[in-house]
Amino acid sequence: MDLQNQQIDSGFKQIRNPKSAIPNIKYSHMNHWKNIPYRQIDNFREFYYEDKTNSAYYTDWDRILRYQKALGFTGIELAPWDFPEMLPLFGSPKAFKEFAAERGIEVSGMFHLIDKPYDRTHHKQTFEESKQAIDLLVAFGGTQLNSAPINNYYGLGPLSREQVKASAEIITEVGKYATDKGVQIGIHNEFFLAINKENHREYLELTDPRYVHYCLDTAQVALIGEDILEFYETYHDRICTFHLKDTATPRLPDEIRYSRDIEIVDDGTRWFWEPGEGVLDFKGLYHLLKKYQFKGWITIETDGTPDLLASMALSRYYIDSQLNTIYS
């Protein structure tokens, strides 16, 4: 048997072996389906024959949640774009929580934007909007509010030191409220935001570590220009959760990161890839997770993929065959 086949066979054995699970880590999947118009399709065969395509497989929450469970994800992370259709379908966060639990899934967390934090005159509104997000997350049963710290760089940056300080102040106030509710605020920085390469660490260090944590999105932070291993080594005690995704283009130049609407370019560019399909050192990262005994949720975010289910499966295979073996 050649080396490649030996590695593949080892990977399959690891996936089949129930001992490969890591008690310290729970895996979640970030919901990027965007449009799930049905709660549960009971007349599935009839529904399929309406257009005879695979769209029938991706239009109800029942099947989406079952796919996640089948691939070993026990959590789902939600986002604001889910709620306009989801909440009318289920009637309440509690009803969705119970529906997901019946399929072996719990809500791990939620994505959120700390809007206009650089403007102290807007802080009251920013705080009220964040309180609403925290209360909603608590109703869903989640514990991680992964918060983009500020708006886009384009049209706003560069920030003054006072604007950075103001931004740190309001997320700390939000973090105090979240902590009292049993929720962890995790800074989720993105490569095109006004908190960027020149003030990323300054902002983090201006926040209060008792109330403000960090959600390490591996691709976003690498695109900013950070070395994810060095960043985790330095701030491991602040990092409460992860968005795990790869990139093939780390350390983007300023003129790209500061461009208008750069994350959603329509020329087919992919900033994000499945773990193992880019260039980031996830094996090195998992050695550090083991070193510091990380405990908590790791969310797989298949952002920008043309095939969410395929990306979910590829990501899970890589995690089980290449990464969990390091930690366990």
Computed on alpha carbons and rounded to an integer, the radius of gyration of the chain in Å comes to 20
Instruction: Please choose, from the candidates 71, 88, 80, 84, the residue with its C-alpha nearest in 3D space to the C-alpha of residue 27.
Output: 71
Closest CA to 306 of 270, 275, 277: 270
Give the pLDDT of residue 264. Answer: 82
List CB contacts of 197: < 8 A, sequence separation 6 or more. 224, 225, 226, 254, 257
pLDDT higher than 60, residue 123: yes
DSSP output for 238-284: TEEEEEE-B-S--S--HHHHTSTTGGG-SS---S-B-TTSSS--HHH
Evaluate whether 138 touches 182 at the Cβ level (below 8 Å).
yes
pTM of this structure? 0.92
Find out whether 155 and 193 touch, Cβ atoms under 8 Å.
Answer: no
Asked if 245 and 273 count as a contact pair (C-beta separation under 8 A), the reply is: yes
Query: Which architecture characterizes domain 29-327 according to CATH?
Result: Alpha-Beta Barrel (3.20)
Question: Tens digit of pLDDT for each residue in 230-289?
Answer: 999 999 999 999 999 999 999 999 999 999 989 887 788 899 999 999 999 999 999 999
Confidence at residue 21, expressed as pLDDT on a 0 to 100 scale? 64
For residue 120, pLDDT beyond 60: yes
**Separation of alpha carbons 276 and 40, rounded Å:** 33
Summarised one tens digit per residue, pLDDT across range 103-113 is 999 999 999 99
pLDDT greater than 90 at residue 19: no
Domain spans of the chain?
29-327
**Least reliable range by pLDDT among 139-143, 185-189, 272-276, 304-308:** 304-308
Tell me if residue 108 falls in helix, strand or coil.
strand
Residue 131, both tokens: 């309180």
Whole-number Å distance between alpha carbons of 244 and 315: 9
Specify the pLDDT at position 225.
97
Tallying the residues shown for the chain, one arrives at 328
